[in-house]
Amino acid sequence: MSRGPIRVAVVDDHEVFRQGLTMLLGVEDDIEVVGEAGDGVAATELAASTAPDVILMDVRMPKGSGIEACVAIKEVTPTARIIMLTVSDEEADLYDAVKNGASGYLLKSSSIDEVAQAVRLVADGQSLISPSMAVKLLDEFKQISRSDPQQVVNTRLTDRELEVLKLVAEGLGNREIGKRLFISENTVKNHVRNILEKLQLHSRMDAVMYAMREKLFDIPGAGPPTWQR
């Protein structure tokens, strides 16, 4: 059964960029832009009034940054998924965005096809980071691991949950994890939900960070995690 188009809100203080993005997303059959806003305060009001599935939002805006707006939006519309779409490639902005509830982080150099696909993935419950930013994220956590070594904590996760967490950290989506472990996609979703609850985390991206910080296992390969390419 079709759930209807993905309801998207576009938030950016540059009107020309905002309107252009709205127009380009509007031609996608499965995406409906339900509103626009030009600052953090207006973004929160828009989220409260339209309850979008996904919000595309700039990081640096007047009247409250996009990162500050993440917190406010999650309070008024907890189910909304937020993708930061920005020119900022600062690691601190990426980390703060994820910490405050963003499900994705894309640079404005991304193509419209990449943005539309990001909307679909995030609406489906997945997390996403531009590959160039993922490299910086991995580098940052390597430094954290070297400067603040910790013993592996007793996470109280089952063996199966640890398997799922490892595959989440490798960048696999629920469907791919299910195929790898020979379990249903719904079972994977339940495992992910249990993992987040047990570790008191808010998103899959938080779980990846936790796994790396606590050295629960080595993430294979030297390249960025493939949350989405």
The Cα 115–Cα 161 span in angstroms is: 31
Residue among 197, 205, 196, 200 nearest 101 (CA): 205
Q: How many CB atoms lie within 10 A of CB 142?
A: 11
More confident position, 155 or 195: 195
The residue with greater pLDDT, 214 or 47, is 47
- CATH 1.10.10.10 domain range(s) in the chain: 136-213
Between CA 41 and CA 66 the distance in angstroms is 9
CATH 3.40.50.2300 residue window(s) in the chain: 6-125
Share of the chain above pLDDT 90, in %: 34
Do residues 192 and 174 touch, judged by C-beta distance below 8 A? yes
Using CA atoms, how far apart are residues 126 and 132, in angstroms rounded to an integer?
Answer: 18
pLDDT confidence bin for 148, thresholds 50/70/90: very low
At 227 the pLDDT is 41
Whether 163 has a pLDDT exceeding 60, the answer reads: yes
Q: Which residue would you say has higher pLDDT here, 69 or 204?
A: 69
pLDDT above 50 for 222: no
Superfamily of domain 6-125, CATH level 4: Response regulator (3.40.50.2300)
Among 97, 165, 169, 166, smallest CA distance to 133 is for: 97
Query: Could you confirm whether domain 136-213 is CATH 1.10.10.10?
Result: yes
Give residue 99's pLDDT: 80
